[in-house]
Amino acid sequence: MQLPQSRADIDAPPSSRDASSGNALDEYKHLGEDLRHYGILRLARLTLLLGTTGAIVTALASETVRAHPIPFALLKVGGLVVALTFAIMDYRSGAQWMRLQQRSNVLAEVLGFETRPTAHVWNPLASTGASRVLHAFLVCGWIFALLLPLFKR
């Protein structure tokens, strides 16, 4: 595998690099492993997000927490922070996954393999789009939960 010679080589989009340099089949296999890794990683993070969110919502529903306004408000802020953090991680992971998929498709064409289908990143019927919509919904839900008391007065 040939190493990049300059910063321009590193920053170049995957489709503009020469797929015939190095061993394209090995790179294609490695990209397949990376794509599988990112898929599993995103699923694991989604599990953590939903478990954490469920725990916070359960705590917010308890009478003990509701009786104390400061911990109640802090749990809502914590929920927003958790949702934002996971949304950012998922966005970056999704962007990397799409970049790897594009490179994989370039190599697939060079090798004569069938390319993987690509969808728009905000398409709610694709995994990346559905994940982004879910994260946006959770962030908006926590913002709504934080602002709701301001409108009750």
Q: Are 143 and 80 in contact (CB under 8 A)?
A: yes
Neighbouring C-alpha atoms within 13 Å toward the C-beta of 38: 20
> For helices 24-61 and 127-152, what crossing angle results, to 10°?
20
- Per-residue pLDDT of 113-138, as tens digits, reads 999 888 888 788 888 899 999 999 99
What is the spatial distance between Cα 52 and Cα 68, in angstroms, rounded to a whole number? 21
Residue ranges of the domains in the chain?
22-152
- Per-residue pLDDT of 34-51, as tens digits, reads 999 998 999 999 999 999
Q: Report which of 105, 116, 110, 127 is spatially closest to residue 38, judged by C-alpha positions.
A: 127
